Amino acid sequence: MSERVYIGLGSNLAEPRQQLEAALKALQLVPGTTLAGVSPLYASDPLGPPDQPRYVNAVAALDTDLAPLALLDALQVIELEQGRVRKDERWGPRTLDLDILLFGERLIDEPRLRVPHYHMHARAFVLYPLADLAPALTLPDGRTLADLLAACPFSGLERLS
């Protein structure tokens, strides 16, 4: 049975808009998975080291038959194919970042995967694109997207055309 999954996409290296477009095409090729929607693109200030370019972010909705870790593996293959290099430095520049934000109604706490994504509640570059896709969303832990948005200002974001 298919589950609705929301994926956060981000890039700030090597033509970020094209990175996200290529990632969306790759997501459409993941077996057992259908791309159900994509938010508009947003530019956002970087977290972490300040001497890096702004990010381009979006959220994609997928319907998938895959198990959570199988989907995570598929996302990491896409990242690697697009030049992602995993470093010890958190929040540094990257060609592509694909994060599972929500996986159906599941609460997942495994060494490789936490869902809902552990920082999504405080990240405008996740919440606002997610609201473009699912404004009435309630997270599996009972929090509403509307409440999260009310506590997370739009500052540092720019909706791109």
Q: Which residues are catalytic?
A: 84, 94, 97, 99
Backbone phi, psi, residue 6, to 5°? -110, 130
C-alpha span between 32 and 89 (Å, rounded): 33
Structure tokens at 21: 């477009």
Integer distance in angstroms from the first to the last C-alpha of the chain? Answer: 35
Pairing verdict, β 42-44 and 55-64: antiparallel
Which H helix or E strand runs over 126?
helix 124-133
DSSP per-residue string spanning 84-120: ----SSTT---S-EEEEEEETT--EEETTEEES-TTG
Burial 84-97 (b: 16+ CB within 10 A, else e): beeeeeeeebbbbb
